[in-house]
Structure 1
Amino acid sequence: MPLKAVLFDMDGVIVDTEPLHRKAYFSTFDDLEIEVSEELYTSFTGASTKKVCTTLIEKFQLRQSHEELALIKRKYFRHFFYNDEDFNLLPGVKSLIENYFDNNIKLVLASSASMVTIDMVFEKFDLEKYFIGKISGADLKESKPHPEIFLLASEIADESKENCMVIEDSTNGIIAAHSAAIFCTAYKSEHSVGQNYEKANLVISDFSEIEFQKVEKYF
């Protein structure tokens, strides 16, 4: 069965927004005049902005609502998104996207990020023209490790699961792809610390390893 579609995760695969979220949160903490320990901040990993803000309100007896806190954090995030010189596409991913596109592979984005953030990334780095669809996990009933997002992505691609490949960097994303019975390539980088790649079909550390000509042998 030939490879017909690639389903991309975004954070940790196309871009790494974690440093931006960190800067935005710590700027917010400064505004609120609260001291958030490294341990507490680490516990927020993977949690929604609403959950983080609700936790802060309870822990520090803040008078603001979680909506107000989220507004402050988003303002900083947008600032760093457009002004941080270190923020860029991950090495090699643009070449990989172009390689698939040139070989008529359908590309679908399947990310847990909000559609607002997805659109910001696509606009900033001019990715829209390469992808036939985008899914935000924030709009779905279930989140990774549930397979819903990748099953939906394969439907958008209008290809059978056997003709699709997922590119993921997180344990939850890899489990989601495995549960969906879709071939999963795990991208292992310095950003993806402490992730479990057991359920991945292939583990790489450089995107050139999965250019169409090299990866089609698995299908």
Structure 2
Amino acid sequence: MSLKAVLFDMDGVIVDTEPLHRKAYFKTFKELGIDVSEGLYASFTGASTKRVCDTLIENFNLNKTFEEIATIKRNYFKDYFYNDEEFDLISGVKELIEHYHENGITLILASSATMTTIDMVFEKFELEKYFSGKISGADLKESKPHPEVFLLAAEMARQPVENCMVIEDSTNGIMAAHRAKIFCAAYRSPHSKNQDYTLADTVVSDYEDLQIDKISQYF
């Protein structure tokens, strides 16, 4: 057993689009005329847009379809994505991606984000050349904490699960990796609040701690 593939979550791990999603969602709530509590919003962490919209439709008896709400939100999000000054890669992640790539590790993106958002991020920050594959959880039947996205990512990397490592930052993502029986490194992001790292195999606050020589004892 040795480390051959790293399966990256995107949000909160590679980029922090959370503040952009938050601004876009709250503008959407305002447009829909609904009052979403911080508690309800926090429960959406790591969930697909469809799941969020379905929950809103149900909780607030909205007479809009999932697609209509998603479109409103997507337009706000795009605006912030290209125009928000503060939006950048998470500190140290580009160096870590380059480090794995130079050492022949297969990189797969396994995110709950839509492929549109994934492609936007990859294009904006020029990440395409480092990754062998990308999976959007939004295209799958099950979303995290279901393990499907990581099992597919391991398959895409052509590696058994014991040669893979997942990098995640959310309770749902960590649980999905755990259920997939894949070693999980949790990144304790300054932005991810109230996430549970109990099921992670290691927890780091600095990406340097995930360099190959630092984690070699696990593989």
State, as a whole percentage, how many aligned pairs show the same letter. Answer: 69
What does 1:32-47 correspond to in 2, within 5 Å? 32-47=32-47
Report the alpha carbon displacement of residue 210 of structure 1 after superposing the two structures with TM: 0.8
SS in 2 for 1:6: strand
Q: SS state of the match for residue 197, structure 1? A: coil
Letter in 2 for 1:77: F
Q: Give the SS at the match of 1:7.
A: strand
Letter in 1 for 2:15: V
1: CA distance, partners of 2:170 / 2:134 = 19
Over alpha carbons, which structure has the higher Rg?
Answer: 1
Match of 1:80 in 2: 80
SS where residue 15 of structure 2 aligns?
Answer: coil
The amino acid of 1:153's aligned partner reads A
SS in 2 for 1:172: helix
What SS class does the counterpart of residue 25 from structure 1 fall into? Answer: helix
Matched, 1:14 2:14: yes
Q: TM-score, normalised by structure 1?
A: 0.89
Which amino acid in 2 is paired with 1:92? G
Q: Which residue is 1:123 aligned to?
A: 123
Higher mean Cα deviation, 54-63 or 209-218? 54-63
Residues 90-137 of structure 1: per-residue CA shift (max 9 Å, x gap): 110000000000111110011111111111111111101000001111
Q: Distance in 2 between matches of 1:12 and 1:29?
A: 23
How big is the shift at 1:155? Answer: 1.0
47-56 or 67-76, which deviates more: 47-56
State the TM-score, normalizing by the size of structure 2: 0.89
In structure 2, the residue corresponding to 1:75 is in which secondary structure?
Answer: helix
Give deviations 1:136-173, integer Å, cap 9, x for gaps: 11112222222221111111111122211111111121
State the shift of 1:60 in Å.
5.9
- Looking at structure 1, the residues matched to 172 and 197 of structure 2 have their Cα atoms a distance apart, in angstroms, of 10
Cα distance 1:54–1:168, how it changes in 2: closer, same or farther (>3 A)?
closer
Letter aligned with residue 12 of structure 2:
G
Q: How many residues align?
A: 219
